[in-house]
Amino acid sequence: MLTRLFPRFNPLALLGLAAFAACAFLAPQASAQQPRDLGTVDITADVRTIPIHVTSTSPEMENLALQAFSAHGAFRRQAQNPTFRVAFAPAGPNQVQVTVTRTQGNAQVLSQVVSGGTPRNALYRAADQAVRAMTNRPGFFASRLAFIGERNGHHEVFTSDLFLGEVRQITNDRNLALTPRWSPDGGRIIYTSYFRSGAPDIFLMDLGTLQRNTFVSFRGTNSGARFSPDGRNVAMVLSGEGNPEIYVSNAQGRQITRKTRTTAVEASPVFSPDGSRILFTSDAAGGPQLYIMPAAGGAATRVPTRISGYVAEPDGSRANPNLIVFTARIGRNFQIGVHDLGTGASRQVSRQPFDAVEPSWLADGRHVVFTSRSAGASSLWLLDTESGRATQLSAASAGKLSQASVLDPR
């Protein structure tokens, strides 16, 4: 999470404590029963998109499938002479039959029964299989989100599916919760909260039992915790020894070792997809920039994005380890950028009228979820980094939502 400034001497800077963190949210029950209104979706013809025709024997299932494919960006709906016909049908409790047929030659390229945790989840999983069959890239519709919302005036952690259905409130701290992040197995969420000591501590929540344990609680700031890809380690920012630095512990919050030793402010650590390196933000160069270092410790190297004097909030793509998505100050606002470690090229990929911040990669290495922030609102959006097309995920009636973390489909 990002503030407009990166104050060196304010310990709350590492938490990104800003006014836009305040969020209001709809009741989970209503969200789980009704599809979200994604607003107007542009489906005009584009030679770079694949024309498809989507049908289902179930009107509810067809509505969810159309919502998903319309938000993707690689497809356009076309009833006459589409390249593919995609059909969905109920196949049993929490099961969906998906069939994909190439119109030319009437060749069937996929016929599969897909299971899910719920009927809605099964549909999204089936649609992901259809995406892979048509594009040879993984789908992301069955992704899960953890994010910050507010009920009764308090910031709490919620989970949902990608389209803000099946919402579940995870915490009831009645205080300030920040930066929820999934464990790789989807069974736990690690986050920062002020609820117990009045200071920022890191907590670990078991999603099966909703049992919360203190993960780290040292003097000073404890924030920005994030699991390694294998779930064995956690990177975080601690200031107990004076300066905010990057530390790594095991998955139980023990065997904590310090990885950076600077006079700068470090923030937002994230492991590379293979777990061998840590990407983070530091103001060592005079303003926030991206750096990368071995996960075992050692010298950090600046990532030369060359796109802005203010670059923060990195996330590495699991689908393409060379790609880093980040937040950059562009003109008077913040926008989303992507840097390619292989080519050294950076590019601005969002064009929001207000701030676009807090990007988190989806499974295909093409799309990210981010927060769109204006003076009185913040909402969750889906961004196609290849076309620049953005789709709102959370309706205005959901209130302010932010700080989404993505769990890939499993």
Taking only the tens place, the pLDDT of each residue in 327-343 is: 999 999 999 999 999 99
Residues 6 or more apart whose CB falls under 8 angstroms from that of 145 comprise 159, 160, 161, 162, 164, 369, 380, 404, 405, 406, 407
| Pairing, β 168-169 against β 177-182 | unpaired
Residue 315 vs residues 54, 226, 324: alpha-carbon distances, Å: 33, 11, 6
Structure tokens at 66: 């159309």
3-state SS class at 129: helix
Taking only the tens place, the pLDDT of each residue in 261-275 is: 999 999 999 999 999
CB 256 within 8 A of CB 235: no
Taking only the tens place, the pLDDT of each residue in 373-407 is: 998 889 999 999 999 999 999 987 888 899 999 99
Structure tokens at 384: 């196609």
Reply yes or no on whether the pLDDT at 6 is more than 60.
no
pLDDT of residue 395: 85
CB 371 within 8 A of CB 401: yes
Taking only the tens place, the pLDDT of each residue in 181-220 is: 999 999 999 999 998 888 999 999 999 999 999 999 999 9
Taking only the tens place, the pLDDT of each residue in 141-172 is: 999 999 999 877 789 999 999 999 999 999 99
Reply yes or no on whether the pLDDT at 12 is more than 80.
no
Residue for token pair 């969906």:
96
CB 277 within 8 A of CB 296: no
Reply yes or no on whether the pLDDT at 22 is more than 50.
no
CB 65 within 8 A of CB 123: yes
Residue for token pair 């209001």:
24
Structure tokens at 60: 């509810």
Please state the rounded mean pLDDT for residues 85-94: 97
Integer Cα distance of 255 and 251 in angstroms: 9
Structure tokens at 147: 């994010």
The overall average pLDDT reported for the chain is 89
Helices (H), 161-271: none
Residue for token pair 């196949």:
91
Integer Cα distance of 388 and 309 in angstroms: 22
Any idea how long the chain is?
410
Reply yes or no on whether the pLDDT at 5 is more than 70.
no
Taking only the tens place, the pLDDT of each residue in 282-295 is: 999 999 999 999 99
Residue 187 vs residues 45, 171, 349, 374: alpha-carbon distances, Å: 41, 15, 32, 33
pLDDT of residue 410: 81
Sheet with 201-206, edge to edge strand ranges? 177-182, 188-193, 201-206, 212-216
* Cα radius of gyration rounded to whole Å, the chain: 21
Tell me what percent of the residues of the chain surpass a pLDDT of 70: 88
Could you tell me which of 365, 361, 276, 277 has the C-alpha nearest to residue 320? 365
CATH architecture of 11-34+141-407: 6 Propeller (2.120)
Residue 203 backbone class (left: φ over 0; alpha: ψ -120 to 50; beta: rest): beta
Reply yes or no on whether the pLDDT at 3 is more than 50.
no
pLDDT of residue 7: 34
The alpha carbon dihedral of 147, 255, 235, 267 has a sign of positive
Reply yes or no on whether the pLDDT at 42 is more than 90.
no
Record the pTM.
Answer: 0.88
